[in-house]
Structures are given as C-alpha cells and as structure tokens.
Amino acid sequence: MTAQILQLIDEEHAVISRLLRLIEREVEQFRSGGDADLVLLELVLAYMADYPDRFHHPKEDLIFAALKRRHADSAAFVGRLSLEHERVAKLTRDLAALVERLIEDASMARNVFVDAANSYLTFQRVHMAFENEILFPAALAHLEPQDWAELDAELETLADPLSGAGRDAGRFQRLREAILPAA
C-alpha cells in the first residue's frame, strides 16, 4: 500500500504540472506576438508563491528528513532539495514581479519575460523530475513501514484547515461553514 503522504504529493505534482502547462501556453502565445492573459498568469503565480511552500514542500522535506535518518548516503540529496525549494520560491516571486511590470508597462521587451518564464518552467520540471525519479525511489527503498506511518501521522499538521481536514480543522470549522456555498 502506498503511503498517504506519497499519494498527496503525487496529486500535488499533477496540479503543479497542469499549472506549468498553463503558464507555458500563455508564454507561447505571448512569444508568437499574441496577447497573454496576464491576470491569469498573475493568479497562477500568486498560488505558486504561497501554497506549495506551505503545504507541498514541507511534506517533501519530512520525507527527506526521514531518509536522512535511515540512509546517510542520501544526505546529499536532502541538501539539494531544500536549496531547490528556496530557489523555486525566489524564481516564482521574480516571475510574478515581471508579470506585474508587464501589466504596468506593456512595452517591456517580450523576450525578457519569455526567457525568464522558460527558465522558470525548466527549473520547476527538473526539480519535480529529481523528486519523482531519484528521491522518492530512494525513500521507498530505504524507509521502513513505521517511518511511513509516522510521516502519514505528520500530515495532520500540513492540511489546509479550510479543507475540513487536519489538526486545526475544528478551530476553523465555523469559518469553513461561513464560506461554504449555501445549500
């Protein structure tokens, strides 16, 4: 049975991949002389600048902390992971700032934005491939069932309380009900 934490990461990667394809479509449109939906790009990057850092990267960091305890040789991977998470966060903020500039000044050189966006897409994809092809297989090879059970128990702290799950769900229940669509 696959650990719940890996299933969630997999679902989150699928969402991130779809968002990257959406960015790619807009950038390609823009590169070929058309208009990009800058408001949509702004929204995607606002999501990417915030939520993966709060709910996605911490899950991966937990897995790699466990891997480090079980298999010291994998420690080098762990270093790369946290550096890349910092880099992803910075690249996301930089690209979001570029979109803001483009919204304010439509005369900005197209290739500046296109090049930055393409570097961003490549970095994100290489990072995800590193996780999927190297780090998760290493974790699956070296972690014990009890490690996975402990990781799944930690998920409680990483759920968005407004989803109705996780440790803080009770505290925010009234807020969740207040914003649920009326039946």
| Interface residue list for Fe ion (CB under 5 A) | 60, 131
The two structure tokens encoding residue 53: 């850092």
Q: How far is Cα 102 from Cα 110, in angstroms, rounded to an integer? A: 9
Return the CA Rg of the chain.
19
- Pick between residue 16 and residue 27 the one whose CB is nearest to Fe ion: 16
Taking the complex as a whole, how short is the minimal distance between the CB of residue 13 and Fe ion, in angstroms? 6
Tokens 């009234």 correspond to what residue?
Answer: 174
Least distance (Å) between residue 40 CB and Fe ion: 23
Q: Which is nearer to Fe ion, 26 or 131 (CB)?
A: 131
Q: How many CB atoms lie within 10 A of CB 129?
A: 10
Q: Which is nearer to Fe ion, 76 or 112 (CB)?
A: 76
- The nearest distance, CB 57 to Fe ion, in angstroms, is 5
Considering the complex, what minimum distance in angstroms separates the CB of residue 31 from Fe ion?
27
**Which of 26, 60 has the CB closer to Fe ion?**
60
* Cα pseudo-dihedral 128, 129, 132, 133, rounded to 10: -160
